[in-house]
C-alpha cells in the first residue's frame, strides 16, 4: 500500500544566491521544505507564520540542523508574520516583503487547513477557503511584480508554486454550480450549502483556478514566472490537528499505513519549485510528473466561465486590502 516513492532531488540542484518564501513554514511540509531549500544552499529563506513564538522556534530548529550548518552556515533564515485567516494580515505581509526583500526567486504557498465544521475567518469568509485560497491569492498577486523583477535580473524564470491536491477532482462545483447573480465568495460563504466533506477538495479545486488565472497574467509562452501546483500525496504531518476527535485516530492509522514521510513529501514541493522548468507552467504535478485531466469541468464552457468569474471576484475583494491589485481585474 501507499504512494510510489519520490526519488531524491536531482544532484546538482543549486539555489545559491536565491531567496525563497514558504507559507505555513513553521511545521510539517513547510518546515521541511524550508530545510531542504537551505540544504540546496538558498541564500535566504523566509518562513511565513501566524505565531511569532512558533516562528522563532522554527528558525532556531533550521539554524541548528546539522546539514544546514554544514553546507549553508551563512544562510539568512527569518520568520515573517502572516495569518492566512485574514486578508489584512496578507496585505501587511506583502508590504513587509516588498520593503525588506529585494529579490524573490521562490514563493511556495504551502499553508493550509482542513476543518469539518463551518467557521468564519477574520475577514468574514469561510475559513478553509480563506486560508487555503483567498489570502494566498492576494499574496501571490501582490508579490508577482517582485517575482518578475527578480527573473529579469537573473535572466531566468522564478517560481510561484501552490501546494494542491489530487483531491481537487472530487470538487462540488459541477454538481452544485453557482446560482445566477451569485459571486464565488458568496457561494463558498453560504453556510446553508456548506458541505464539510467536500470543502477541502473545493479549496484545492480553487487553487487550480488560481493557477490558471495567474498563468494568463504572467503569459503562457516563455514565462518570467513559472506558476504551478503539486500534490505531495498523503504525508505524515500534524495536518489533522483540527479534525474532530473521533476522526483523528482513524487518520492516524491510515497515515501510518499509507503516508509518505514528511521529508519525502517535501521533495515534491522542491521538485516543483527548484527543478521543474517552463514545461510545468500552468500545470499540476503528481508524484513529480506533470498531470492533466484532473478536473475536466475546468476545460468545459461552464468551467471557463467560472474561472473568469472567480478571478474577477477575488481581485475585487483583494483590492480592498491592496488597492494596486485592481489593475488585474
Task: Write out the three cell numbers for 44.
Answer: 535566504
Q: Which of 18, 204, 224, 283 is catalytic?
A: 204
Neighbours of 17 (CB within 10 A): 12
200 included as an active-site residue: yes
- The contacts of residue 220 (CB under 8 Å, 6+ apart) are 281, 282
Per-residue b or e along 67-99, where b marks 16 or more CB atoms closer than 10 Å to that residue's CB: ebeeebeebebebbebbbbbbebbbbbbeebee
- The contacts of residue 3 (CB under 8 Å, 6+ apart) are 233, 234, 258, 260, 287
Q: Which of 134, 200, 271, 321 is catalytic?
A: 200
C-alpha span between 293 and 58 (Å, rounded)? 38
> Taking the CA atoms of the chain, what radius of gyration do you get in angstroms?
19
Number of helices (H), then strands (E), belonging to the chain: the values are 11, 8
C-alpha span between 168 and 296 (Å, rounded)? 11
Q: Alpha-carbon torsion 256, 261, 266, 267, what sign? A: negative
Annotated catalytic residues are 200, 204
Amino acid at each position: 500500500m501507499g504512494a510510489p516513492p519520490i526519488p531524491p532531488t536531482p544532484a546538482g540542484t543549486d539555489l545559491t544566491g536565491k531567496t525563497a518564501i514558504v507559507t505555513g513554514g513553521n511545521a510539517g511540509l513547510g518546515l521541511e521544505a524550508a530545510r531542504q531549500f537551505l540544504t540546496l544552499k538558498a541564500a535566504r529563506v523566509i518562513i511565513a507564520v501566524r505565531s511569532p513564538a512558533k516562528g522563532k522556534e522554527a528558525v532556531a530548529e533550521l539554524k541548528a540542523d546539522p546539514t544546514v550548518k554544514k553546507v549553508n552556515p551563512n544562510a539568512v533564515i527569518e520568520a515573517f508574520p502572516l495569518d492566512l485567516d485574514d486578508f489584512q494580515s496578507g496585505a501587511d505581509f506583502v508590504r513587509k516583503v516588498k520593503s525588506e526583500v529585494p529579490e524573490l526567486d521562490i514563493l511556495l504557498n504551502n499553508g493550509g487547513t482542513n476543518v469539518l465544521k463551518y467557521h468564519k475567518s477574520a475577514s468574514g469568509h469561510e475559513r478553509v477557503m480563506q486560508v487555503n485560497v483567498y489570502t494566498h491569492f492576494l499574496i501571490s498577486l501582490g508579490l508577482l511584480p517582485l517575482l518578475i523583477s527578480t527573473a529579469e535580473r537573473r535572466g531566468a524564470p522564478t517560481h510561484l508554486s501552490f501546494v494542491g491536491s489530487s483531491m481537487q477532482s472530487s470538487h462540488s462545483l459541477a454538481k452544485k454550480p453557482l446560482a445566477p447573480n451569485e459571486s464565488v465568495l458568496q457561494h463558498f460563504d453560504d453556510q446553508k450549502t456548506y458541505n464539510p466533506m467536500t470543502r477541502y477538495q473545493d479549496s484545492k479545486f480553487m487553487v487550480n483556478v488560481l493557477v490558471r488565472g495567474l498563468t494568463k497574467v504572467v503569459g503562457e509562452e516563455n514565462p518570467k514566472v513559472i506558476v504551478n501546483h503539486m500534490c505531495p500525496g498523503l504525508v505524515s504531518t500534524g495536518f489533522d490537528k483540527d479534525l474532530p476527535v473521533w476522526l483523528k485516530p482513524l487518520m492516524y492509522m491510515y497515515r501510518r499505513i499509507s503516508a509518505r514521510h514528511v521529508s519525502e513529501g517535501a521533495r515534491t514541493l522542491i521538485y516543483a519549485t527548484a527543478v521543474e522548468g517552463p514545461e510545468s507552467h500552468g500545470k499540476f504535478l503528481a508524484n513529480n510528473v506533470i498531470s492533466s485531466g484532473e478536473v475536466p469541468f475546468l476545460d468545459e464552457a461552464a468551467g471557463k466561465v467560472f474561472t473568469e468569474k472567480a478571478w474577477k471576484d477575488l481581485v475585487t475583494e483583494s483590492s480592498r486590502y491592496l488597492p494596486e491589485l485592481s489593475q488585474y481585474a
